[in-house]
Amino acid sequence: MQSSLPAYRRHPTFRRSAGDFVAIWFVVAALSVLAAIAGWQFWHTDRIFTGVQVAGVPVGGMSRAAALLHLSRELRIYPSPPLSLSFEERTWTLSSAQLQARPDLLGAVNAAYLIGRQGTLGQNLADQWTALLGQRTAEPQLTYDEGALRYAISQIAAQVRRPGRAEMTIGDLHLPSAPGVDVDVDASTQLLLARLQTGEGRSVALQTFAVAPPDAQSSAAADSTTSTPLLPLVLSDPASGLVFALDPATQRRLLPNGVGGQVNPAALAELVQLWAEEVYIPAQDARLRFDVNAGQAVVFQPSIVGRQLNVDATITALQNALVSGQSQGQLPVEVVAPKVDSNRIDEMGIRELVATGTTYYAGSSQDRILNVEVAAEKFEGVVIPPNGIFSFNSIVQDVSAANGFADSLIIWGDRTAVGVGGGVCQVSTTVFRSAFLGGFPIMERYNHGYVVSWYGEPGMDATIYTPSVDFKFRNDTSAFLLVQPVVDSVNGVISFLFYGTKPDRQVTVGQPVISDIVEAGQPVYQEDASLATGEIKQVETAKRGLTATVERTIVENGQSRTDKIVSVYQPWSAVFLVGPGTPIPGQEKPATP
């Protein structure tokens, strides 16, 4: 018996070509690049992209809070563009300290944070690359202290002012009368402000006017009690450096009968009111941030002391000076303290988490996500004093493209339409939930026109529409209340955290009770010429109308109270767009054009 072994077969050998290695190298390189991009985006989640500057100051890699603090230290005196005033052959250069430019650092920091985040993926990566090269800068909007400009011009006007000369004869020499020169401080100030805002021109001509020469004969014969004062009347406040001057022409208008006569009360009140508007600087409340590790609030944006003119005291001072012929007087400027003073944080009682609310927006469009982020940023560090009223609209201000918002879907009338600011109500709804769940008194709140799926169960939403439809609540605790938004756009989650001193109360919120259900109407079909024949596109989802009642029970200091939030939602028909000539399901008539 013979046995045989199977013939040995050589397995084919796979040899990789140079092209295979090149392809593998490209795949590995691509994966490495993608991993680097993902890591870059993750590291900058709450940071400004590296390389971005604000007014020439690097802020890349910083959080917005750190960038704001850094800028407030670096730009204490903002470097204003060089500007000078001129008259005839004389020139006066105004320093940055005299111009007193006030930059909107918070707005600039928010604009810097949005660099590399507002466009498509390709646009964002390109913006991030140019930022890394140091080619992206956010310039803050500037406002100027009109009172400081007026003071600087008044100081220069004292060097320019020249009284008129009466005709006179000295021996054999005859000198004809000559007009004088005075400075129109108001016109010069307004022209200077206009140039600063537009950036046009580096030199501004002082606005002057001629002063008629006095009549030598009538001046000699006139009684000193009725002669027209020739020297300006100056009111000043040494603390603020403000100076207001009344030129002779203005004094004549206020004293039609001359020194010692009766002051024109209407003209005087009008003048002082104009001064009050120029002097007024509103106090700016501090914005804070809660440091969880330290368990305390820290300064996010320092407070600014304001000022105002005491109108009644100014009128009295002017009346006395004009009647008695004085040339100097005190300008009664008052300090306006901020309600939230960054120098008194330790007295505010901000020490723990008081309330929180959360909503979800995963799946939103890029424009809607942007609007959520922009709106939430405006509430960074807002502090509500004890018994103070929180107003959503007063903080978010104008919901417009100029204020950073993009076009997205909004509820407009009886349908959903594209408009500026879609997604802002995600923020207002989240703030409402924090306040409602925290037991705070709700002062003003409106539900949406129909049930919106973004907000989960009906009855716990809050719509706003600036400036008329607002959301308000009152801080009824004895401590200050810090509002801190937390936005996670990667996962589509937004929360509002309230920090303060937690009151001794328990809040229980029941489930929404649904009643008065009304079924949605028949679907609506509208012809759209941009669609092809046979194409149907749904743009509205049918929603039932209903009433949702949410009951809240608050037990505080041993006493219980209950309140309700009642929301009435209208039925909402499904809306379809169809191409021309497309048959409508279940209908014989064509779609409405």
DSSP string of 448-503? -SS--GGGSSTT-----BTTTB--EEE--SSS-EEEEEEEETTTTEEEEEEEE---
Whether 185 is in a domain gets the answer no
Same domain? 421 vs 401: yes
The residue that leads in pLDDT, 359 or 36, is 359
Cβ–Cβ < 8 Å for 474, 443: yes
Burial of 296 (0-12, 13-18, 19+ CB in 10 A): middle
Confidence of residue 81 (pLDDT cuts 50, 70, 90): confident
Cβ–Cβ < 8 Å for 86, 188: no
Same domain? 478 vs 561: no
Q: What percent of the chain has pLDDT over 70?
A: 87
Same domain? 481 vs 521: no
CB atoms within 10 A of CB 441: 14
Whether 149 is in a domain gets the answer no
What pLDDT score does 16 carry? 65
Distance CA 522, CA 574 (A): 7
Cβ–Cβ < 8 Å for 182, 252: no
Whether 588 is in a domain gets the answer yes
Highest mean pLDDT among 16-25, 241-250, 416-425, 551-560: 551-560
The residue that leads in pLDDT, 532 or 412, is 532
The residue that leads in pLDDT, 348 or 125, is 348
What pLDDT score does 157 carry? 80
Same domain? 352 vs 449: yes
Same domain? 375 vs 495: yes
| DSSP-derived secondary structure letter, 184 | -
Specify the pTM: 0.64
Weakest-pLDDT range from 39-48, 142-151, 520-529, 549-558: 142-151
Distance CA 486, CA 350 (A): 18
Distance CA 438, CA 475 (A): 10
In the predicted structure, residue 307 carries a pLDDT above the cut 80: yes
Q: The domain that contains 235 carries what CATH number? A: 3.10.20
CB atoms within 10 A of CB 84: 12
What pLDDT score does 588 carry? 59
Kindly report the average pLDDT of the chain as a whole number: 82
Number of H helices, E strands in the chain: 14, 35
Average pLDDT over residues 305-318: 91
Weakest-pLDDT range from 13-17, 149-153, 370-374: 13-17
Whether 261 is in a domain gets the answer yes
Distant-in-sequence, close-in-space partners of 65: CB < 8 Å, separation ≥ 6: 289, 300, 380, 381
Domain boundary among the residues 99, 123, 138 is at 138
Q: CA nearest 396: which of 340, 464, 455, 341?
A: 464
Task: Return the exposure string of 553-579: e unless at least 16 CB atoms fall within 10 Å of the residue's CB, then b.
Answer: ebeeeeeeeeeebebebebbbbbbbbb
Confidence of residue 523 (pLDDT cuts 50, 70, 90): confident
Domain boundary among the residues 138, 171, 203 is at 138
Distance CA 296, CA 301 (A): 15
In the predicted structure, residue 413 carries a pLDDT above the cut 50: no
Same domain? 336 vs 381: no
Same domain? 410 vs 353: yes
Residue pLDDT, tens place only, 257-283: 666 667 888 888 888 998 888 888 889
β-bridge partners, 465 = 469
Average pLDDT over residues 291-313: 91
Cβ–Cβ < 8 Å for 490, 361: no
Task: Return the exposure string of 451-486: e unless at least 16 CB atoms fall within 10 Å of the residue's CB, then b.
Answer: bbebbeebbbbbbbbbeebbbbbbbbbebbbbbbbe
Distance CA 412, CA 414 (A): 6
What type of residue sits at position 531? Answer: L
Phi–psi pair at 241, nearest 5 degrees = 80, 10
What pLDDT score does 132 carry? 86
Whether 4 is in a domain gets the answer no
In the predicted structure, residue 585 carries a pLDDT above the cut 60: yes
Residue pLDDT, tens place only, 455-475: 888 999 999 888 888 999 999
Average pLDDT over residues 334-362: 94
Domain boundary among the residues 88, 122, 138 is at 138
In the predicted structure, residue 216 carries a pLDDT above the cut 50: no
Distance CA 474, CA 300 (A): 23
Burial of 536 (0-12, 13-18, 19+ CB in 10 A): middle
Whether 323 is in a domain gets the answer yes
Q: CA nearest 549: which of 532, 562, 531?
A: 562
Average pLDDT over residues 211-240: 60
What type of residue sits at position 81? Answer: P
Same domain? 362 vs 284: no
Instruction: Find tokens 């809040």 and name the residue.
Output: 507
In the predicted structure, residue 527 carries a pLDDT above the cut 80: yes
What pLDDT score does 490 carry? 85
What type of residue sits at position 114? Answer: L
Same domain? 394 vs 436: yes
Distance CA 191, CA 431 (A): 44
CB atoms within 10 A of CB 281: 18
The residue that leads in pLDDT, 110 or 166, is 110
Distance CA 372, CA 404 (A): 11
Q: The domain that contains 516 carries what CATH number? A: 2.20.230
Confidence of residue 218 (pLDDT cuts 50, 70, 90): very low
Same domain? 271 vs 396: no
Q: CA nearest 60: which of 136, 2, 3, 6?
A: 136
Whether 321 is in a domain gets the answer yes
Distance CA 125, CA 112 (A): 15
Average pLDDT over residues 129-149: 82
Domain assignment of residue 240, given as a range: 224-344
What pLDDT score does 181 carry? 83
What pLDDT score does 141 carry? 81
Whether 167 is in a domain gets the answer no
Confidence of residue 10 (pLDDT cuts 50, 70, 90): low
The residue that leads in pLDDT, 354 or 86, is 354
Cβ–Cβ < 8 Å for 583, 549: no
Same domain? 558 vs 470: no
Distance CA 33, CA 26 (A): 10
What pLDDT score does 443 carry? 96
| Structural domain count, the chain | 4
First to last CA, the chain: 94
Same domain? 510 vs 588: yes
What pLDDT score does 385 carry? 97
Tokens of 492: 């589509």
